Amino acid sequence: MGKTQALGLALLRILLGVFFIFEAVAKVGWLTNPDLLGATLNEWHSMATDWNRAYLEQVCLPYVSIHARVVPLAELATGLALLTGVATRVASGLALLMLLNFHWASGIILTYGYLTNGYGLPVLGGLLALTVGGVALPLSLRR
C-alpha cells in the first residue's frame, strides 16, 4: 500500500474513532437507566416489519439491560482502538457487526432512506475498508 493510501485510511480510522467515542458519550445514560434503550427498542418494535420484529422480540427486548451496558462500552472501546490504531482490524470488524445489528433492529437497513443516511453506508463502508486494509497504518500507537 502506498503512503498516500495508508494516510487516507489512517485519517478515516481516526475520524471513525472520534465518531464512536461521541456515540458512546451520547449513550452513557443507558449504563444506569436501561429503560432509555428500552423505549427506543419499543418504538422500533411498534414500527417493525416481519423482517426485524422477531429479532427485536427474541434478541433485543429480552436482554435490554445487557445491551444497554454493552453497547456504550463497546462503542467507547471501538472509538479508543480506532483513535489510537490498536487492533484496528478487529475493532472495525466487531463495530461493523454491532452497527449492522442496530440497523437491522431499527429496520432502517430495509428502507430506501438507508442509502442516504449518513450513519448507514458511509460508516459501514469505512468500517469495512478498515477491517480489510487497516493494518500497519501511520499515526498508530501500534503498527
Q: Is the pLDDT of residue 95 over 90?
A: yes
**Dihedral (C-alpha) 12, 14, 19, 20: value to the nearest 10 degrees?**
110
What digits encode the pLDDT tens for the residues 11-23? Answer: 999 999 999 999 9
Average pLDDT estimate for 59-70: 98
**What pLDDT, on a 0 to 100 scale, did the predictor assign at position 1?**
81
CA dist list (Å): 105 to 8, 15, 100: 32, 25, 8
- pTM for the whole structure: 0.94
CA-closest candidate to residue 10, choices 118, 72, 76, 82: 82
Give dist(CA 67, CA 85) in Å, integer. Answer: 26
Q: Residues 104-113: contacts with CB within 8 Å, 24+ apart?
A: 104/52, 104/55, 105/41, 105/44, 105/52, 105/55, 105/56, 105/59, 105/60, 106/44, 106/52, 107/44, 107/47, 107/48, 107/49, 107/51, 107/52, 110/49, 110/51, 110/52
Average pLDDT estimate for 50-58: 96
What digits encode the pLDDT tens for the residues 97-139? Answer: 999 999 999 999 989 999 999 999 999 999 999 999 999 999 9
For the chain, domain boundaries: 3-133
**What pLDDT, on a 0 to 100 scale, did the predictor assign at position 110?**
85
The 8-class DSSP code of residue 58 comes to: I
